[in-house]
């Protein structure tokens, strides 16, 4: 298991206590993880309508999102973070 760093990551504050994150990541080994701070939910977006998704896990106790996939595969992950950012405090 290797820690990977996102190729791209952005967050949108929805002004209701939730923040939506979009993370693009490239796998390095068979099982990799990256950090999603205070995430309450996360999913991998399918590359196409019938695409099979790898197994993935959100570990809320340590902010890790783990993907079981092949090295070199690229994924887009959408996540929800409760209270991570607060509108008006920037």
Per-residue confidence (pLDDT) for residue 61, from 0 to 100: 84
Per-residue confidence (pLDDT) for residue 21, from 0 to 100: 93
Asked whether the beta carbons of 38 and 63 are under 8 A apart, the reply is yes
Q: What is the pTM of this model?
A: 0.85
Query: What pLDDT band is residue 9 in, cutting at 50, 70 and 90?
Result: very high
Asked whether the beta carbons of 77 and 44 are under 8 A apart, the reply is yes
pLDDT (mean) for 11-20: 87
Q: Where are the domains of the chain?
A: 2-82
Distances (CA, A) of 85 to 29, 38, 77, 82, 88: 32, 10, 19, 8, 9
Query: What pLDDT band is residue 1 in, cutting at 50, 70 and 90?
Result: confident
Kindly indicate whether the domain formed by 2-82 is annotated with CATH number 2.60.40.1170: yes
């Amino acid at each position: 298991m290797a820690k990977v760093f996102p190729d791209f990551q952005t967050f949108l504050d929805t002004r209701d206590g939730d923040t939506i994150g979009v993370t693009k990541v490239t796998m390095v080994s068979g099982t990799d993880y990256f950090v999603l701070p205070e995430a309450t939910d996360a999913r991998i977006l399918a590359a196409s309508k019938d695409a099979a998704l790898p197994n993935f896990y959100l570990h809320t106790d340590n902010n890790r999102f783990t993907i079981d996939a092949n090295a070199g595969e690229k994924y887009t992950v959408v996540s929800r973070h409760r209270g991570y950012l607060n509108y008006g405090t920037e």
